[in-house]
Structure 1
Amino acid sequence: MPVSAALQTLQARLPFVPELAIVLGSGLGALADSPEAKAGVTIPFTDLPGFPAPTVAGHGGRLVFCTFEDRKVVLQAGRFHFYEGHPMSLVTAPMRIYGRLGVQAVLLTNAAGALNPAFGVGELMALTDHINLFGTNPLIGPNVGPGPRFPDMTALYDPAFRARLQACARDLGQTLREGVYLGLTGPSYETPAEIRAFRGMGADAVGMSTVPEAIVARHEGLRVAGISCLCNMAAGLLPQPLTHQEVLEAGAAAADRFEALVRAFVRGLEL
């Protein structure tokens, strides 16, 4: 998907160049309705050339440019998923746009299934790394400059950002887990056999987003942090079947803790 038309439309309406982008995953979109967001500038996805409306419950489909904890930010309420049939170029288009706008960092959030039996439903997990099982890479094709042809992914999830998240969680009296996120295409949930295999690979949580965005954000030169809301236990760890409604409900239940952590992280953040 060409990014230039959407970028030009945004630049014509922007109140400022944001320093930080925050992508709000399934069930975590309440920040886009915060008082700061309501005082900002909202641009629906459908106002941007080439951007369709999201088709998944819990994804609002808009960009909100606002001052949030004394930072100029863009809140991305919702995202595009590969399983919706979108090309990777659209899934990752917001990251391309943020890089070209001059955004310095991105906080990616998602709803995920917990693979680690020591973790519980409703807990938050800072991403330390990821495993890409999407079967493709968003950088396949001609290299999109100015990013390098072979970008390094050694410390994709910024260690300093992760340390700050942990410090903020301690100050709030929260427990913030850390772990490896494994990304799959979906939309079917995983089988118990797959979950056992993924645990053997070292994954702590599994989901259907984030990985392509993180790769492209790094390629664009953005610093990256990631938080998963562990909204269910992965297949086979509990007897009941998995549902998307369960994910939305768990996200809503964790919303206050999630918002408090994000606010504390942004407040005084050094970029």
Structure 2
Amino acid sequence: MKKIAIAVLTIAALGLAPANSSKPIPGHTEPHSFIAKSVSSPAGLAQHIKSDPRVARRYEKHYGIDAQWLAEYVSKNLRATTLQRAETFTVYHVKEDGKVYPKRIQFKKGTAVFSTVKGNPVMKVSCGNPLSTSLPLAPAPIAPLTEITSAPKFEPTVTTDVPAETEPEPIKEVLTSAPTVPALPSLDVPRIEFPAAANTPVTDAPVTEAPPVVAPLPPSIPTVPLDTPIITQPGGWSPLLPIGLIIGGAIVINDKPDPVPEPASIATIGLGLAALYRFKGKSSKTRSSSSKKNLK
């Protein structure tokens, strides 16, 4: 019976051996992994990328970036965490010939992953396989603030150095005189001489008194018919002349200037004077004819 039991246990052990061979062996990784050996920290993964050229080429081909830059990114921006719940990810595997292919896999709760500071999973720890084709942007580092205890004292510095002598710039010639203008051709103009003015003494002009102002005549002046006989006296003086003057209007000398007579009044005066002049001429002719008769 003991022999039978030993044989059964041996067969069972041999049957379980192939199943156990598929589990990861310590120091080794899963099939189609990006890394050649297992790592447990971002610093270990960064060192593995720098030291293994084959691993570096796999990451460069997948992300399209330099492997050295990726190693710095992993060591400074990733950390090892575990999933708080089961999630499904697209995991990128690599074959022996270097071909990369994606595969959807559901991770159980507690699976170890390399995540960013914000908790975004980037790679699986056990194989180093990427969970995306790009890397999350790393936050810009913030310089630490330094406490200023006291403001630095400012001491002005006095410069005593005398500047070296420099040669003066050449003085540009300044135009001080007006540009010359070509002389115009001379023209022969005949000279005209005027006789000298006689030296005549300058005398003051005589002061003339203002002429007497004649008062305007009335609108209507009685006229004497031409056929009316005129009584004349020796010497050619007519007795009607004073009457005409009285009728026509007396001559008045007024110190104060009167208004200028209207054109109608002036015309009337002119007609009266013309009539008197005609009467006087007719009386002269009559007197001369009578004298001739007396001589005969």
Under TM normalisation by the shorter chain, which class is it?
under 0.3
TM-score (norm 1): 0.16
Which one has the bigger strand percentage?
1
Structure number with the bigger relative contact order (C-alpha 8 A, sep ≥ 6) is 1
Work out which of the two has the higher radius of gyration on C-alpha atoms and give 1 or 2.
2
